[in-house]
């Protein structure tokens, strides 16, 4: 399986880095690198994340990386990273996420 990042998920990483870098640039870089590498394990174990039934019939799942949540979709023999955010962020739940 191949990993594809949505433009929204890529923007999420940029946003998170900008927010964190204001206080701790080195930590911001480390965290964003960790988040960017997190989907690598999904190639071998794509269904390791919790399935989110609210998105049926799509197969949308989530994994938690420390205090961050990453949503992804399995479709067409590929993994699409949809969104990434900190658990304390107020995020609406939408089928478009």
Model confidence over 6-22: pLDDT tens digits?
999 999 999 999 999 99
Provide the strand spans (E) within the chain.
Answer: 2-5, 50-51, 60-65, 68-75, 78-86
The DSSP 8-state label assigned to residue 53 in this structure reads G
Copy the structure tokens of residue 52.
């989110």
Report domain extents, the chain: 2-86
* pTM (global) more than 0.75: yes
Q: Which CATH superfamily is domain 2-86 in?
A: RelE-like (3.30.2310.20)
pLDDT at residue number 1: 87
pLDDT of 96 over the 70 cut? no
3-state secondary structure of 23: coil
pLDDT at residue number 12: 94
């Amino acid at each position: 399986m191949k990993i594809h990042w949505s433009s929204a998920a890529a923007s999420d990483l940029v946003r998170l880095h900008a927010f964190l870098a204001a206080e701790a640039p080195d930590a911001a870089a480390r965290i964003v690198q960790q988040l960017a590498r997190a989907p690598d394990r999904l190639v071998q174990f794509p269904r390791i994340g919790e399935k989110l039934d609210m998105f049926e019939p799509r197969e949308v799942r989530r994994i938690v990386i420390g205090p961050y949540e990453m949503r992804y979709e399995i479709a067409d023999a590929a993994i699409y990273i949809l969104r990434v955010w900190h658990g304390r962020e107020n995020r609406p739940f939408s089928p478009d996420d």
